[in-house]
């Protein structure tokens, strides 16, 4: 009887009516293809052994790295892998798949478990996936033929092992729901934005020194990089994280979900998702409003100018600061270059009297230029420069330094037709006219006479006046050393 059953199963298998699934076992050794540009030793293959197999996952470890660890180190890392396995099973997998959809399960090897290869990587790299692993070797000989995530061994000793696992798993979902379903790979910036937001969605940023805190710092260090021109550096990750968080705050998680389930990619998919959600806004409107929100971040000035995520309510972009003289007449000139879908924040403070801010660029319908005027009471006015056909505009400010404490000009470049690496030039000038030249001593009452107004003195003359004032105060007992 057993002979007939076995023959029946073989026939079914040959006819395609039955398939066998083979599970890996702890201790198995395999050779995996890897991306040499990420690997610490620039190799393109790694020999690894299966060291742990919790539900839904296989943890393979680079043999050279693992065999050089002490028993104590292995014990510690086993605890980390246990935590990763538990979080993946109880939180990451069920929540992300129920919201965004599934990965391409089972893999080419007919195994639904996801392989995680722990391998030493170069500095700054955390993890990656390889789309080729979703294909048979007959289509791509460098495929590992399985659902697979590659993680830097350094991550295991950080606080970010679980968040990075969530980030990379979201990439597997995106690959299946976009590339394998529609045959159109997602644009890198949006692919990364979804994976960055997945960490917040799962609640892993509600702790001190979180994954998000690290991204905020990266954004603050270089906030004017392009959103869409991906360079794979920390500033790019910081920016897409800040933008994705704002997008969800304003329009809900379904904007990211819907954009994943349409054939369009990148900006076009976000526009499609916004339309599906009944919003009249388009991507450019969102990006422009975001550029103001990261500067103000205060809901009292309008719901579109703030974050609602409790972990981002205190986040503010660091503007480029320009200080104007407090007396006399002067003009400050500056010029900058921006990439497509990027912004800069030029803040002007100081000055006394009237200030004329002039903006110029040599392009048509490329720049939008919001501005924020703050007064001494803390109130703010948000507006936008109306550029003429030459790309020029003027903003006149009265009582600068008295009623007005600062003005921020926010040039934003947005062009659907620009070449990816295009750069765009603009210039700004701030002309100050205080009306005080030669008529006063800048409202300072000195206890002695001086030959000419302070605002007409050079550096040496001002130092002489300061020294004379110090001697006077000491002699009157009003200043002691």
Secondary structure string (H, E, C) spanning 182-233: HCCCCCHHHHHHHHHHHHHHCCCCCCCCCHHHHHHHHHHHCCCCCCCCCCCC
| E strand or H helix that includes residue 268 | helix 266-276
d(CA 334, CA 340): 20
d(CA 282, CA 367): 16
Say which DSSP state 121 is in.
B
Alpha-carbon distances of 461 from 140, 327, 329, 446, 458, rounded to whole Å: 77, 16, 19, 15, 5
d(CA 66, CA 78): 11
| DSSP3 helix / strand / coil % (the chain, rounded to 5) | 40, 20, 40
Closest CA to 84 of 128, 62, 107, 116: 116
d(CA 233, CA 230): 8
pLDDT digits (tens, 9 = 90+) for 421-476: 789 999 999 999 865 444 444 456 677 777 666 766 766 777 787 787 777 777 76
The pTM for the full model equals: 0.85
Q: What is the pLDDT along the chain (481 residues), one digit of tens a residue?
A: 444 444 443 443 444 444 445 689 999 999 999 999 999 999 999 999 999 999 999 999 999 999 999 999 999 999 999 999 999 999 999 999 999 999 999 999 999 999 999 999 999 999 999 999 999 999 999 999 999 999 999 999 999 999 999 999 999 999 999 999 999 999 999 999 999 999 999 999 999 999 999 999 999 999 999 999 999 999 999 999 999 999 999 999 999 999 999 999 999 999 999 999 999 999 999 999 999 999 999 999 999 999 999 999 999 999 999 998 877 788 999 999 999 999 999 999 988 889 999 999 988 789 999 999 999 888 999 999 999 999 999 999 998 888 899 999 999 999 988 777 789 999 999 999 865 444 444 456 677 777 666 766 766 777 787 787 777 777 766 655 5
CA angle (23, 27, 31) in 5-degree steps: 80
Closest CA to 178 of 110, 103, 92: 103
CATH classification number, 320-433, choose in 3.40.50.2000, 2.60.120.380, 1.10.3720.10, 2.60.120.680: 2.60.120.380
d(CA 397, CA 353): 8
Q: Where are the alpha helices (DSSP H) in 49-206?
A: 63-67, 71-87, 93-100, 161-174, 181-182, 188-201
Q: Please spell the DSSP secondary structure of 280-319, one letter per residue.
A: ---HHHHHHHHHHHHHH--GGG-GGGS--STTTTT----P
d(CA 273, CA 256): 8
350: left (phi over 0), alpha (psi -120 to 50) or beta: left
List CB contacts of 60: < 8 A, sequence separation 6 or more. 30, 32, 48, 49, 50, 51, 115, 116, 117, 118
Q: Span 26-305: which CATH code? A: 1.10.390
Q: Are strands 57-62 and 45-52 parallel, antiparallel or unpaired?
A: antiparallel
* Long-range Cβ contact pairs of 59-64 (< 8 A, separation 24 or more): 59/84, 59/85, 59/116, 59/118, 60/30, 60/32, 60/115, 60/116, 60/117, 60/118, 61/117, 61/118, 61/153, 62/117, 62/118, 62/119, 62/120, 62/153, 63/29
d(CA 149, CA 171): 9
Say which DSSP state 278 is in.
T
List CB contacts of 108: < 8 A, sequence separation 6 or more. 133, 134, 135, 136, 143, 145, 146
Domain boundaries, the chain: 26-305, 320-433, 444-481
Q: For residues 13-40, b (16+ Cβ closer than 10 Å) or e, as one string?
A: eeeeeeeeeeebeeeeebebbbbeebbb
Cβ neighbour number for residue 114 with a 10 Å cutoff = 22
Cβ neighbour number for residue 42 with a 10 Å cutoff = 11
């Amino acid at each position: 009887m057993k002979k007939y059953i076995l023959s029946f199963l073989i026939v079914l298998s040959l006819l395609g009516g039955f398939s066998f699934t083979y599970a890996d076992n702890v201790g198995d050794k395999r050779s995996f293809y890897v991306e040499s540009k990420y690997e610490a030793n620039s190799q393109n293959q790694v020999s690894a052994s299966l060291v742990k197999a919790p539900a839904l996952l296989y943890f393979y470890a680079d043999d050279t790295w693992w065999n050089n660890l002490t028993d104590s180190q292995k014990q510690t890392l086993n605890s980390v892998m246990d935590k990763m396995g538990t979080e993946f099973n109880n939180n990451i997998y069920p929540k992300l798949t129920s919201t965004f959809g599934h990965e391409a399960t089972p893999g080419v090897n007919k195994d639904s478990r996801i392989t995680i290869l722990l391998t030493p990587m170069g500095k700054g790299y955390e993890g990656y996936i390889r789309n080729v692993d979703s294909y048979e070797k007959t289509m791509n000989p460098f495929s590992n033929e399985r659902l697979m995530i590659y993680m830097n061994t350094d991550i295991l000793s950080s606080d970010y092992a679980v968040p990075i696992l969530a980030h990379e798993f979201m990439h597997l979902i995106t690959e299946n729901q976009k590339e394998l379903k529609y045959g159109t790979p997602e644009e890198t910036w949006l692919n990364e934005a979804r994976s960055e937001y997945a960490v917040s969605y799962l609640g892993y940023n509600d702790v001190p020194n979180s994954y998000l805190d690290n991204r905020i710092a990266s954004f603050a260090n270089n906030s004017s990089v392009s959103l869409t021109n991906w360079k794979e550096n920390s500033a790019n990750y910081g920016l897409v994280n800040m933008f994705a968080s704002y997008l969800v705050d304003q329009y809900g998680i379904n904007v990211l979900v819907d954009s994943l389930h349409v054939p369009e990619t990148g900006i076009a998919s976000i526009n499609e998702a916004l339309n599906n959600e009944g919003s009249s806004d388009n991507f450019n409107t969102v990006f422009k409003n975001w550029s103001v929100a990261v500067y103000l971040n205060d809901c009292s000035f309008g719901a579109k100018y703030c974050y609602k995520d409790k972990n981002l309510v205190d986040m503010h972009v660091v503007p480029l600061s320009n200080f104007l003289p407090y007396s006399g007449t002067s003009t400050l000139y500056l010029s900058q270059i921006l990439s497509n879908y990027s912004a800069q924040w030029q803040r002007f403070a100081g000055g006394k009297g009237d200030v004329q801010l002039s903006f110029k660029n040599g392009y048509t319908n490329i720049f939008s230029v919001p501005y924020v005027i703050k007064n001494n009471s803390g109130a703010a006015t948000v507006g936008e420069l109306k550029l003429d056909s030459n790309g020029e505009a003027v903003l006149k400010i009265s009582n600068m330094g008295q009623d007005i404490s600062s003005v921020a000009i926010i040039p934003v470049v947005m062009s659907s037709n620009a070449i990816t690496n295009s750069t765009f030039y603009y210039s700004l000038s701030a002309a100050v006219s205080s009306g005080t030249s030669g008529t006063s001593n800048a409202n300072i009452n000195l206890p002695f006479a001086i030959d000419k107004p302070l605002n007409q003195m050079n550096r040496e003359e001002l130092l002489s006046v300061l020294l004379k004032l110090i001697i006077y105060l000491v002699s009157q007992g009003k200043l002691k050393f």
